[in-house]
Amino acid sequence: MAGSRGEILIVEDTSDTAAAIQAVVEREGFQTVVCGTASEALAAFATMKPVAVILDWTLPDEPGTEVCRKLRARDQAVVIMFASGRDDETSIARGLDAGADDYIAKPLRPAELIARLESHIRRAEALRNMATKPPAAAVAAPPARKFGDVEVDLGARTVRVKENAVSLGPMEFRLLEYLVRNAGVAVSRDQIMSEVYGYDADIGTERVDLLIKRLRAKIHDHAEGGLISAVPGYGYRLETRASSR
């Protein structure tokens, strides 16, 4: 039944684009609320419990990045995905740094939009379910692990380099978590797309390289020795013996 999968807040000031996104997600059984300005979106968000927000970068009254920060401050779990005509590395990085779970460039491909959206919603639901389990049913968190200068605590979801906390965005931490759980093993770009992004659709793996680049910048800039190595023609590997000079 339409609407049974929850509400999605669409923040888009171009009416044709908003209508196209609305049609795509409603076909998948979601209800939608459409807003054309930042102020409308923030007011609507306060009265609803959306499973996801699809957010444009350019709004008439406030940048989408600021809206993202405000929404993320209100709700750490809600899925926020940028849908923007800006497809350069800097814009994508700024969107993810603002707290978005993902960033998809326009023109939108319906299959890709739904694949990404549903992947993030499933992951968010799984995290919420884990958080609501009684203590007796909870699975013990894995111990913190050290890789040279870098300490990763998956249970606490923290990363420290030389005892200094490093702030990672949601997707950056998911990538690091996957690499840690497969430390020392070469993982392909396709594996990362499947396991970190959860995409089954035919989506290019160039997004993996950008995410790796961002993660390296945040960690390698502070650590001595490389933690994440490229495996030419294949993917990446988290080194278990990163140097600590």
- pLDDT for 162-207, tens place per residue? 888 998 888 888 899 999 999 999 999 989 888 887 765 555 677 7
Q: Which residues of 104-128 are buried (b: 16+ CB within 10 A; e: fewer)?
A: bbbebbeebbbbbbbbbbebbeeee
Residue 243 in this model has a pLDDT that exceeds 50: no
Mean pLDDT of the residues in the chain? 86
End-to-end CA distance of the chain: 60
What is the reported pLDDT for 245? 40
Position 108: which residue type?
L
Query: Which of 49-63, 152-166, 182-196 shows the highest mean pLDDT?
Result: 49-63
Q: In the chain, what are the domain boundaries? A: 7-131, 145-238
What is the reported pLDDT for 57? 93
The DSSP 8-state label assigned to residue 135 in this structure reads G
Mean pLDDT of 32-59: 96
What is the reported pLDDT for 22? 97
Q: Using 50, 70 and 90 to split pLDDT, how confident is the model at 244?
A: very low
Looking at 3.40.50.2300, 3.60.20.10, 3.60.140.10, 3.30.70.141, the CATH number of the domain 7-131 comes to 3.40.50.2300
What is the reported pLDDT for 207? 77
The CA distance from 6 to 218, in Å, is: 35
Instruction: Say if residue 83 is exposed, middle or buried (CB neighbours under 10 Å; 0-12, 13-18, 19+).
Output: buried
Instruction: Say if residue 184 is exposed, middle or buried (CB neighbours under 10 Å; 0-12, 13-18, 19+).
Output: exposed
145-238, what's its fold?
Answer: Arc Repressor Mutant, subunit A (1.10.10)
φ, ψ of residue 55 in degrees (nearest 5): -125, 130
Regarding predicted confidence, which is higher, 11 or 107?
A: 11
Q: Using 50, 70 and 90 to split pLDDT, how confident is the model at 88?
A: confident
What is the reported pLDDT for 126? 74
Query: Which of 6-20, 110-124, 200-214 shows the highest mean pLDDT?
Result: 6-20
- Does this chain's domain 7-131 share its CATH topology with 145-238? no
How many helices (H) and strands (E) the chain has is answered by: 8, 12
What is the reported pLDDT for 140? 59
